[in-house]
Amino acid sequence: MSTQHRDYEAEQNKLKETIALIDDEIVQLREEINEATDDYVKQVVNYNKAKDLRYLEDHGRDKPYFGRVDFLKDEIYELDQVYIGKRGIVRSDTFDSIVVDWRAPIASLYYSGESKDAFYRMGREIVRGEVRLKRNFAIEDGEIVGIYDGAVKETINREMGHPDEFLQEGFIDEFLNANLNMANDSRLKDIVATIQSEQNEIIRAEKDRPIVVQGVAGSGKTTIALHRLSYLIYNYQDTMMSKKFMVFAPNRMFLTYISEVLPELGVDDVQQSTFVDWAARLVKPLMPKGWRIVSPDKPLQLFFEEGQDQREQEITRNRLRFKGSLACKEAMEQYIRYVIETRIPFKKLSFLYNKTKQVFSIPGETIRQFFLEQFGALPYQRRVDALRKHLKQEMNKQLFSHLRERKVDLDKQGLAKFEKMLEQILDTYLVSFPRLDIFAAYRELIAEEELLCKLAPAAIPDKVIRDVSTSSAALLEQERLEPEDIAPLLYLQHIIEGMNKAEHFDHTVVDEAQDLSALEVAVIGLATKRNSMTIVGDIAQGIHSYRGIHAWEELTQGIFEQLRPAYYTLAQSYRSTIEIMQCANEVLRQIDLPETVLAKPVLRHGEKPVMVHAHSRAELWDDIRSRVAALQQEGFQTIAIVTKTILASKKAHKALAESIADLTLLGSKDNQFPGGVTVMPAYLTKGLQFDAVILLDVASYQNNEWDAKLLYVAMTRPVHRLVMTQMAGEEAPLLANLAQELYTQA
Ligand SMILES: Nc1ncnc2c1ncn2[C@@H]1O[C@H](COP(=O)(O)OP(=O)(O)OP(=O)(O)O)[C@@H](O)[C@H]1O
């Protein structure tokens, strides 16, 4: 590698040449931008040029590219040699490409990992050939400091007959390794230089189809979902706008954590929200005045704080799971049918045409059939409107054929009179079609036990339905909604009135999707054009399993009926060291989860996790204090002290705040991720990563699925170091089988 590389001279010269071209470009752009203009179009052009200039000055000049691909095209045997960078750079005089953008079609060769039989897509065309060389560069301040040849290794590897695992485990991509080992401030960053082929497939997946990605902790799900946005906006700017992209994330703090990488990827104006914040805004106008939505954290206390009533837990679990289920969706659809069948009489529509004494009529059954079948796909209220239009047409048809038969001519005035009469008759007739109030409908369905038992799918036991109904009624009595009511209300709005199309997104990313319910994902689908969605998550990290998704089949089979989602899995983990992942995987082994594959860490070693046994709380706080100081001394910037519950976080903060400078206590109301040393409950660490994690009281996590998932989430957050603490004499049930050689005792 590096400066010893046989092509070092040639590549260094090429880089110098490229930088010289970029310097010319910079001079030219500066001149062009400085030309004052009143012309609006020119102002827009200048604005874009200013952005290009900023990129060239800030990044492009020092590190114009990170990779090179030599591609020999089939048939014509023409060799394309392209240098790939974070942004494409084009000479403005000749329009020659100096550097190819990583999102451009040909750049996919750099990521796909194929050597022979490689191809890339240019619109509908497939360009085939052979990747002769795939080369990575480490460049610092305009100098090459490392050259790594990827495809060559792959070829050697294949020709030596090594199995694929060898490539992944023994022959690890040196360039990736160098990147992962770089000092890390633990915020999310772009990975355009080291995107792996299975990640690349997801980033470049079909646009108008939902994709579901099950990926182990640290497999890059969040990162690649954001890279996919960047890819989409680059390739489909005619039909998509980044302003109409939405990223749904698990909490507000996570949003600030990802926001730094968005400008890097050129998608800084995407919308970002938690599901609850977004959906609550839509649901508020449907709620009666004075009603409130309770905090989403309430159930967490019930499920994770000690000494909670078990029956209360069971009822809550039944209620929350039902409200997020496809069974609830079905019950709502049945409710509309029930209203139609039981409340609309579907009488005959008839009236007497005085002038000729003719009676016109349409039979009730015909009207019923139209309403249920012909217009069945429309929201209820739109069906009523469509029926009115249809009845009017029918009556008009009958009148005109009658008039033709009788050879009667109707003048303008006569026609207007007939129209008016018809409107009045339709007004009267349609009074028997009740106008459905969304909120009242929901209340009737969810809080009336017998009705819900009748309309919910038979597979749901009556006992569960009764729990759902009685506990929901009690909440509604207090004029309270819970976050789990929001998705059903929006779904009801969809089937009663239809959703507002103006609000629709061009693409949505649903991160940590396992913690949303199937119905919540379905509602997001309704708000997304052509179901263009990237849904990523990890069932093993489903800490809100009392309401979340248990198996991806709930999404891949149950929601998107027109076009089933494409399903991908990622098993390679990039965040934590091998030593940390080995310990975390032991926790998952304790529980039996469907669809769970254990994370395979990339070949990056670090120190073994440490288990601290403290004899008193005072000793524990002292130990943590000195560990934090030592970690800071080593240069680690983000250190999280993670507790099982919010209460425990408060206690730890109180005990440590005086002796650890700038120690921040984080709760779910916090919007900012401050970095530095933080104390927070495990559930809030979702999606985040830290240089080091100190996990308090591992013995408090019980041997059950929920606690195991919570502990797994917390253990998979550190990039470099993991410290676990427990009181001397205590046993951590989830770590009981952890082999002694996997950690260090302290
Ligand atoms: N191809 C890659 N090259 C370099 N770093 C990578 C790559 N893929 C992922 N990473 C790094 O791995 C870390 C984890 O990524 P990310 O947070 O996106 O994973 P995740 O699957 O969303 O994790 P989790 O589910 O545990 O929250 C990040 O630091 C990211 O930069």
Q: pLDDT tens, 300-358?
A: 667 766 677 778 888 998 999 999 999 999 999 999 999 999 999 999 998 887 777 88
Question: In this structure, which residue's CA is closest to atom 27 in ligand 1?
Answer: 687
Helix, strand or coil, per DSSP, at residue 294: coil
Residue 146 and residue 25 share a domain: yes
Angle at 289 between CA 283 and CA 292, to 5 degrees: 60
Residue 638 and residue 674 share a domain: yes
Paired strand residues for 83: 68
Residue 702 and residue 608 share a domain: yes
Q: Is the pLDDT of residue 171 over 50?
A: no
pLDDT 10s digits, 227-238: 999 999 999 999
Residue 146 and residue 77 share a domain: yes
Q: Final residue of a domain: which of 527, 553, 570?
A: 570
Q: What distances in angstroms separate CA 295 from CA 90, 231, 519, one per listed residue?
A: 51, 36, 19
- At residue 175, the pLDDT reads 63
Q: Final residue of a domain: which of 408, 431, 454?
A: 431
Question: In this structure, which residue's CA is closest to atom 1 in ligand 1?
Answer: 195
Q: For residue 695, how far is its CA from the centre of ligand 1 (angstroms)?
A: 21
Q: For residue 221, how far is its CA from the centre of ligand 1 (angstroms)?
A: 6
Mean pLDDT of 543-553: 77
Q: For residue 263, how far is its CA from the centre of ligand 1 (angstroms)?
A: 18
Residue 98 half-sphere exposure toward CB, CA atoms < 13 A: 26
Other Cβ atoms less than 10 A from the Cβ of 492: the count is 24
Question: In this structure, which residue's CA is closest to atom 29 in ligand 1?
Answer: 575
Q: For residue 219, how far is its CA from the centre of ligand 1 (angstroms)?
A: 5
Mean pLDDT of 377-383: 92
Residue 107 and residue 124 share a domain: yes
Residue 558 and residue 517 share a domain: yes
Helix, strand or coil, per DSSP, at residue 437: coil
Question: In this structure, which residue's CA is closest to atom 13 in ligand 1?
Answer: 575
Q: Which atom of ligand 1 is nearest to the CA of 537?
A: 25
Q: For residue 223, how far is its CA from the centre of ligand 1 (angstroms)?
A: 6
Mean pLDDT of 677-684: 94
Convert 157-225 into a string of H (helix), E (strand) and C (coil).
Answer: HHHCCCCHHHHHHHCCCHHHHHHHHCCCCCCCCCCCCCCCHHHHHHHCCCCCCCEEEEECCCCCHHHHH
Decide if 28 is inside a domain: yes
- Candidates 188, 177, 194; CA nearest to 687 is 188
pTM score, whole prediction: 0.89
Cβ(332)–Cβ(320) below 8 Å:
no
Whether 94 has a binding-site annotation, put simply, is: no
Residue 708 and residue 680 share a domain: yes
Decide if 193 is inside a domain: no
Q: At what angle do helices 462-477 and 438-447 cross, to 10 degrees?
A: 130
Question: In this structure, which residue's CA is closest to atom 25 in ligand 1?
Answer: 217
Domain residues for the domain of 223 are 205-282+496-570
CA dihedral (308, 310, 313, 315) in degrees, to 10, reads -140
Q: For residue 575, how far is its CA from the centre of ligand 1 (angstroms)?
A: 6
Decide if 503 is inside a domain: yes
- At residue 527, the pLDDT reads 94
Question: In this structure, which residue's CA is closest to atom 14 in ligand 1?
Answer: 218
pLDDT 10s digits, 419-436: 888 899 999 999 999 999
Q: Domain holding 505: CATH number? A: 3.40.50.300
Decide if 172 is inside a domain: yes
Question: In this structure, which residue's CA is closest to atom 8 in ligand 1?
Answer: 220
Decide if 121 is inside a domain: yes
Mean pLDDT of 72-90: 88
Choose one of 203, 219, 691, 713 to mutate for the ligand 1 pocket test, by most ligand atoms within 8 angstroms of C-beta. 219
The beta strand positions in 18-90, using DSSP E, are 67-73, 79-85, 89-90
Residue 719 and residue 643 share a domain: yes
Q: Which atom of ligand 1 is nearest to the CA of 189?
A: 31
Q: Please state the separation of Cα 343 from the chain's center in Å.
A: 41
- Using CA atoms, how far apart are residues 147 and 139, in angstroms rounded to an integer? 9
- At residue 338, the pLDDT reads 95
Q: 406-415, 416-425, 476-485: lowest mean pLDDT where? A: 406-415
Total domains present in the chain:
5
Paired strand residues for 89: 99
Q: Is the pLDDT of residue 7 over 70?
A: yes
- Using CA atoms, how far apart are residues 623 and 724, in angstroms rounded to an integer? 11
Residue 160 and residue 40 share a domain: yes
Confidence band of 176 (pLDDT split at 50, 70, 90) = low
Decide if 326 is inside a domain: yes
Residue 330 and residue 466 share a domain: yes
Decide if 738 is inside a domain: yes
- Using CA atoms, how far apart are residues 142 and 12, in angstroms rounded to an integer? 9
**Which residue is associated with the tokens 């250190």?**
639
Taking CB atoms and a 6 Å cutoff, what residues make up the pocket around ligand 1? 176, 179-180, 189, 191, 194-196, 199, 215, 217-223, 538, 541, 574-575, 687, 689, 716
- Using CA atoms, how far apart are residues 506 and 516, in angstroms rounded to an integer? 20
Decide if 16 is inside a domain: yes
Residue 352 and residue 262 share a domain: no
Q: Which atom of ligand 1 is nearest to the CA of 686?
A: 27
Residue 17 and residue 154 share a domain: yes
